[in-house]
Amino acid sequence: MDVTGTPRDLRQRGLELLDAAVRYAEDRHWDVFPGTWLEAADGVEHCSCGSATCPRPGAHPATPNWAGQATGSAAAVRRMWDQTPRASVLLPTGRSFDVLEVPEAAGFLALARLDRLGVQGGPVLSTPDRRMYFLVLPGAAGKLPDMLRKLGWVPSTLALTALGEGGYVPAPPTRVGSRGAVQWARQPTVANRWLPDAEELVSALAYACARERR
């Protein structure tokens, strides 16, 4: 247990979060910023923001100026997590990457389809609330509706959305309340360092969303 555990548990958890944040900045050259975290009171975990109805406990920005905090400097990352060692690891979208978001079932179906087609995708995040985020080159958020229409899909009928400038995603090992931790469905590796264009993935994702809807 990392929130209600011993001081040693908490220190270990803090080291894991710091290590992940530094690796994202150093190895992938992604901007990173610290978010909220989970605190325990009477054996129950709460978000550090203090809201009893927080929709994303322990996994959202802690300050309004989070976009200005986000940095790709490993030294700056270490300083920020020194100040808030239990902070969640958040990645801004619209900078190094945009995100195509789909339900988990559609995401796994799309991954299988892309593998069969021999399409080399990028890293893919899986969240405890059963969503999947496909990392693609920046600019996808603005183009997604037109891409879907050109393929014959009606955007409003698909559970396929995009996050671009002004958005963010939680990254492993961030925990989202009692739901569990964010994980990589497809790990960042040397092979997928160069992110795909959204056009390479959107057909498979749209097909998977439509199939799951039916």
Question: pLDDT of 162-184, one tens digit each?
Answer: 999 999 999 999 999 989 999 99
Domain ranges across the chain: 1-88, 93-214
Burial class, 50, CB count within 10 angstroms (exposed 0-12 / middle 13-18 / buried 19+) = exposed
Residue 13: what pLDDT? 81
Residue 38: which of 54, 16, 15 has the closest Cα? 54
Q: Among the CATH numbers 3.30.2250, 2.160.20, 1.10.4030, 3.90.550, which is that of 93-214?
A: 3.30.2250
The string of pLDDT tens digits covering residues 93-116 is 999 999 999 999 999 999 999 999
* The dihedral sign for the CA sequence 176, 180, 181, 186: negative
For 10-35, the pLDDT digits (tens) are: 788 889 999 999 999 999 999 999 99
Would you tell me how many other CB atoms lie within 10 Å of the CB of residue 213? 11
Q: Output the pTM of the full model.
A: 0.93
Whether residue 21 contacts residue 30, with contact meaning beta carbons closer than 8 Å, is answered with no
On average, the pLDDT of the chain sits at 94
**Tokens matching residue 148:** 């879907």
**Structure-token match 């996050």, residue found:** 163
